[in-house]
Structure 1
Amino acid sequence: MNVSGKGTTSSVSHFILMGFPSSPERQLLYFGLFSVTYILTLMGNAAIACAVLWDRRLHTPMYIFLGNFSLLEICYVTTSVPNMLANFLSTTKSISFVSCFAQFYFFFSFGCDEGFYLCIMAFDRYLAICRPLHYPRIMTKQLYTGLVIFGWSCGFILFLSPVVLISQLPYCGPNIINHFMCDPVPLMMLSCSEDKTTQSIYSTFNTVFMIGTFLFVICSYALVILSVLRMPSAASKRKAFSTCASHLAVVILFFGSVMVMYVSPGSGHPVEVQKIVTLFYSVITPLCNPLIYSLRNKEMKAALRKVFGTEITVHKA
């Protein structure tokens, strides 16, 4: 199979994902560990999405955004983890050229959408806390429906160009990727020719997206915190800080690890560090997010108890 790119014929028809080289016994251990992590991630995020769907008390913009964010997490983690689990049991660890770039596209598109959703959620909290009297008039059903659609679609539109550019690079071999997924940095390193233009466009895209969304979120929450500090009621302060703390924890987990890897691609991160950081934001963060949001939110905990049928109702005789 030949794949054409930029006028050059690429002889590579598939790639080998090395993953985490180790003994067969350790590969089985990894398989068991990450299988449990994946199942818990699916269960945790699905529980939040179901709670938002079934509990009418959570049919507010904040929880609608949170429910969609949880669905995004499920899609995000599913683009990479099942293939990683299959490779733990495989001897070939092969992935086709098309499948590799499809994984690349969907993984980073969903990741990009998560960044936009964190911005949307920060904007919603800013309006609710800093502009409470204007909130119902501004955050209408039409607006939050539009924001939900924007959050799901924007990443797929924006990430199409970087994926097409990198897929069009000539790949003549070798085809071994020292990673557990089709990451753009090792893919560009495997190209037969060093395309500075593609690397520059990709790096600029990541920098603008990461810095832009991160600054938007931080500025939004800075204004929220200033507004909370001016609240006269201690109870109102505690409630607002509790909500913001959970959002900020997710923001730090997401942006902190992603910026290390993708704001400056090719900056000389050791291969093992790349794998660990990628593992953190692609596997660990989606597992932690449901815990962060549910443990610090009374309404969500009550809804989850209702969903799982554990809510106790006291009947008076």
Structure 2
Amino acid sequence: MQATLHNPQETKTCAPVTDGRKLGNCLIANHKLKDLISNELRAVGFDVIPNEMATPRTVHLPVDHWIDVGALCLLARSDSPVCLKDKSGDLVAWVGANTPEECGGEVVTEADCFRIHYPWSLLELNEEVLGMMEGSQIAGDISPLAQVDGHLHLGVGSKILPGVVIEGNVIIGENCRIGPNAYIRGNTSIGDHCEIGNAVEIKNSIIYPYSKIKHLSYVGDSVLGSHVMLGAGTILANYRHDGTNHRSLVGGKLLDTGRIKFGAVLGDGVRTGVNTCVYPGRKIGPGRMTRPNSVVDRDLMNGVPGKGGVVPEARARLSADFNYNI
């Protein structure tokens, strides 16, 4: 069996995580999404090949769906060009043609799957993948005065300092410094070269590499890009007073996220001033900054270089690391 991965046609709905980054390169459990899907396919016997090497028997997958690979095994046996769709009508995969438009048939799958269409979908997938973790893998150093309850993957060169408490399934990358007295819980992934300061609490979140969360801050059910720096006392709130689902503005429309707990989504290079409070469900675009004691009650997605919106140092760093043009 063969499979090939395609970039989805629409990625703007996952902004600001996909501003300057393809969806397949977004991180889930510290792995690129496209690598995670490829590994799942190989585990059940697929050869993952480039698009140009596809044959009429090759299964084609856009990387914006997470699906039980057993359904793809059945699709691979089809003798005619056919599209596989989920119960909502979204395209999941196809076989027998170069494009889905060339397929003459259509099959609806009952397999567990969901579309990775919005930033909160990344959180959902991160929760699912980390929820399947079995056992701990410790390559760094853990203070005897720290406490770990659950499964922990700790990268080479990383240090867990005294007073740190970790609960749940957590992945921490290489060369990170955690604590002292930090609290990390839920299904949380922290990328390489991150710093989590004194008395910081992180719950059920995705933190990209090279980000720093300074002391006395709270990050709940949030996604933080690379080179983000949260000033001391920054709060990324994740719960509405009325206990209802969070809504988030996408394409000018307020969408129900389906989540009672949902924090903020911060693009690469964001910096917050000390004591910044970010309302639940808000998004801050790449390179944006806030002043001390700011309250972010609406999305901040369009920075203006040189006008206080985008940090100049962040702009230079993003341009060098990710080929941004901001």
User: Which has the larger share of helix?
Assistant: 1
